[in-house]
Amino acid sequence: MARQSKITMMQAITEALDMAMEKDEKVILLGEDIAGGTTVDHLNGEGAWGGVFGLTKGLVEKYGHERVIDTPISEMGYMGAAVGAAATGLRPVPELMFNDFIGFCFDTLLAQGSKMRYMFGGKATIPMTVRTNHGAGASAAAQHSGSYYGIFGSVPAIKVVVPSNAYDAKGLLLAAIEEDNIVVFSEDKTIYSLKEEVPEEYYTVEIGKAKIKREGKDLSIVTIGKMLYVALEVAERLAKEGIEVEVIDLLTVAPWDEETVLNSVKKTGRLIIIDEANPHNNTATDIASIVSDKAFDYLDGPVKCVCAPNTPVPFAANLEKLYLPNAEKVLNVADELIADLK
């Protein structure tokens, strides 16, 4: 049953949280100000905020403070509590307000949550979805604009999802919450208001599968999160020159979908990966290294990464714009790769 109009990625995420909570009582949310105003008399149990970006708005009114739990500013405390709650039977969905706060709670993910099942010989199960956000472009400066999904992705036993649009965000988030593993669900704060057609029903999108957003035979571009839109712009522009770009939206960055990426590269012989993380030891270089190896005989040119520079995120608007990958940078790289096709 299609709803009348498109909804934003923000609305899709809220809807997914709502449905997950509706479906399973064991799903609880924790985070700073995800309700807001807990214990403030005149609010009568309503939330004052619903999260810093409003993503959890309406949920405390429906599910109460028992399930939409405002936390003090204690990331290690509540993230670790989520691990402990997951190990003992709940399905917590903690929110890390910005992925930049990873340094305050990394142990609970790196050394506790992700290792328990293995260290305990398979006995622990940690069904937990960490919602967070990343990304430059909101003038949020160096400490609120980083992209650290690649760091989470380097940790064994953590799955990492980066949605690019409302439809996948809803389905992936529902799939994540169904998972009996730790999933980091990293949203790009600058595309929350992008709209898309999103079914009203409960549905899941498979974690670990990339999507081909545009087919092409000349050049593959793999993207993470909002870099999809850079790739689509590049594809559009190159189409005018007769170059057919295949655009692959990774969606899950750990473990990423080798099969889809390799099949595409075997067809096109050329690959660019766009990842707005800092350039070293990130998802892009991981893909580049594996593709360069496994598709070696198919490559007509080097696999190229277009990433942020190796600097913190600058505040000034002009510098921040320059910091992010964009169509021009990708086209520059593409030109080299497709020189022989023109």
Ligand X SMILES: Cc1ncc(C[n+]2csc(CCOP(=O)(O)OP(=O)(O)O)c2C)c(N)n1
Which residues have CB under 8 Å from 218's CB, separation 6+?
238, 243, 244, 245, 246, 268, 270, 338, 341
Active site residues: 144
Contact residue for other proteins among 120, 215, 241, 281 (CB under 8 A) = 120
* Beta carbon of residue 32, minimum distance to ligand X (angstroms, whole number): 5
128 in Cβ contact with 79 (< 8 Å)? no
Contact string 23-42 vs ligand X (x = CB under 6 A): ---------x----------
* Beta carbon of residue 233, minimum distance to a copy of itself (angstroms, whole number): 23
DSSP state of 312: P
Strands in the chain per DSSP E: 7-8, 27-31, 68-70, 91-96, 128-134, 158-161, 182-188, 195-196, 211-214, 219-223, 245-249, 252-254, 271-274, 304-306
For residue 73, state whether it binds ligand X (rule: CB under 6 A).
yes
Contact residue for a copy of itself among 229, 278, 325, 327 (CB under 8 A) = 278
> Given the rule CB under 8 A, which of 108-116, 225-233, 235-243, 286-294 is the region that contacts other proteins?
108-116
Report the site for a copy of itself in 155-194 (rule: CB under 8 A): 155-157
The DSSP result for 88-114, as a single string, is: TT-EEEEEESSGGGGGGTHHIIIIIIH
Strands 158-161 and 128-134, bridge-based pairing? unpaired
> Given the rule CB under 6 A, which of 96-104, 206-214, 242-250, 257-265 is the region that contacts ligand X?
96-104
* Beta carbon of residue 117, minimum distance to other proteins (angstroms, whole number): 5
For residue 284, state whether it binds a copy of itself (rule: CB under 8 A).
yes
Supply 223's token pair. Answer: 């993207």
Contact string 26-55 vs other proteins (x = CB under 8 A): --x---xx--xxxxxxxx----xx--x---
The closest of 268, 266, 277 to 311, measured between CA atoms, is 277
Task: Specify which residues 185 forms β-bridges with.
Answer: 131, 161
Q: Which amino acid is at 299?
A: L
The closest of 89, 28, 85 to 59, measured between CA atoms, is 28
Rounded to whole angstroms, the Cα distance separating 289 from 300 reads 15
Contact residue for other proteins among 13, 21, 90, 272 (CB under 8 A) = 90
Report the site for other proteins in 52-81 (rule: CB under 8 A): 52, 66, 69-81
Report the site for other proteins in 148-187 (rule: CB under 8 A): 156-157, 159, 179-181
Sign, Cα dihedral of 29, 31, 32, 34: negative
Supply 146's token pair. Answer: 């980083």
Task: Select the binding partner of residue 289 from other proteins, a copy of itself, ligand X, none (C-beta < 5 to 8 A, by kind).
Answer: a copy of itself
SS3 string, 111-130, reads HHHHHHHHHCCCCCCCCEEE
User: In the complex with a copy of itself, which residue's Cβ is closer, 3 or 120?
Assistant: 120
Supply 108's token pair. Answer: 């609970």
User: In the complex with other proteins, which residue's Cβ is closer, 144 or 270?
Assistant: 144
For residue 97, state whether it binds ligand X (rule: CB under 6 A).
yes
Supply 258's token pair. Answer: 């080798």
Task: Select the binding partner of residue 323 from ligand X, a copy of itself, other proteins, none (C-beta < 5 to 8 A, by kind).
Answer: other proteins
Contact residue for ligand X among 63, 78, 101, 185 (CB under 6 A) = 101
User: In the complex with other proteins, which residue's Cβ is closer, 49 or 203?
Assistant: 49
Q: Note the residue count of the chain.
A: 342
Binding residues vs ligand X (CB under 6 A): 32, 73, 75, 97, 101, 104
Binding residues vs a copy of itself (CB under 8 A): 100-111, 114-115, 118-119, 141-143, 150-151, 153-157, 254-255, 278, 280-286, 288-290, 292-294, 296, 299, 301-305, 310-312, 314-315
